[in-house]
Chain A
Amino acid sequence: MAKISPEEVRTEVKRFWDILSGRSQDKLEEMYAATALVFTGKAKRSESARLAAVRRTRQIPKTASVRADLSAIEVQISGDDAALAAYTYSFRTTKIQADGTRVQVDTPYGRATQVFQRDDAGALRIIHEHLSAAAPPAIEKGASGE
């Protein structure tokens, strides 16, 4: 099986954020190994990544505008079959609620750690993920025309 390259890992990280931003129709849950664990949002404990992925996908309605900007992605390769990606990001979602109110949620200081491993079919899968924010998200509400 081919050794993992840093570029391959960066491509997977970008695919992850493209899915979250609605720019890719790939399925988020398929990025994870079946046994993957994640720490995310306000969760007090780690949880199954595939369950969290299904929930995340549902939480971003089709009408939301989503923007993610990533810093440089630092990659460390371990042996032939595992890699670690660490980077910071900012994430903004804007939704129009049923009453016309526009709600913008800004996470300016996101931090990400993702550990990848090749599966038996040769695909890179995330086996562990820790997403957190150094400051609570800023929530702004206004009329949709603002």
Chain B
Amino acid sequence: MTSITAEEVRAEVKKFWEYFSRKSKSRFDEMYLPSATVFAADSRRMEPARLMLVRRERELFAAGSQVSAKLGTIDVQMAGRKLAVASYPFHFSITRTLASGKRVRVEMPWGRATQVLQRDENGVLRIVHEHMSSAEPVAPKELPAADQPPASRPT
């Protein structure tokens, strides 16, 4: 199996955010190994990636949700011959609808990402571990009524 290159890792990270922003769920899910583990930015515990994917699908891939991200410089480190670590800052913006019907916007200007990748048995680079965090506390802001769907607007 060929060695992992830094350019290959950067290309995977860019694909990750492209699929996330375009809500390409199946391609996004395929970026993780089945055994992958994740620290989500707001989570107190580590969880299997497959659980996080179910939550992201419900919260962020739903109709009416919008996700965008601007990435800083992606540092790539090789750990042995089979593991690569990508780390970078990012600015993350989400607009989504809560279970109550209210629409909220979350801005995370100082996001920090670590993604550890390895090749699967077919030679495809996939995420084996992910750690996202924010350098500053983040609070959702409720959007004004004009931005709310009709059912939740005050009459």
Contact = CB atoms under 8 A, between A and B. Distances in A.
Interface string A49-93: 000000000000000000000000010101111101011100000
Interface residues of B, number: 32
A81 B37 contact: no
A43 B134 CA distance: 9
Contacts of A42: 135-136
Contact of A44 (B75, B89, B131): B89
B79 A78 contact: yes
A80 B136 CA distance: 37
Interface centre among B45, B75, B114 (most CB of A within 10 A): B114
B42 A134 contact: yes
Interface residues of A, number: 33
Interface stretch (B20-28, B80-88, B96-104, B145-153): B80-88
Contact of B133 (A37, A79, A132): A132
Contacts of A76: 128-129
B81 to A, nearest CB: 6
B13 interface: no
Contacts of A74: 37, 46
B70 to A, nearest CB: 14
Contacts of B45: 88
Interface in B102-155: 110, 112, 114, 116, 118, 128-129, 131, 133-137
Interface of B: 37, 39, 42-46, 72, 75, 77, 79-83, 85, 87-89, 110, 112, 114, 116, 118, 128-129, 131, 133-137
17 contacts: A39-B87, A39-B114, A44-B89, A74-B46, A78-B80, A78-B83, A79-B80, A86-B37, A86-B39, A86-B131, A111-B43, A111-B46, A127-B77, A128-B85, A133-B133, A134-B42, A134-B43
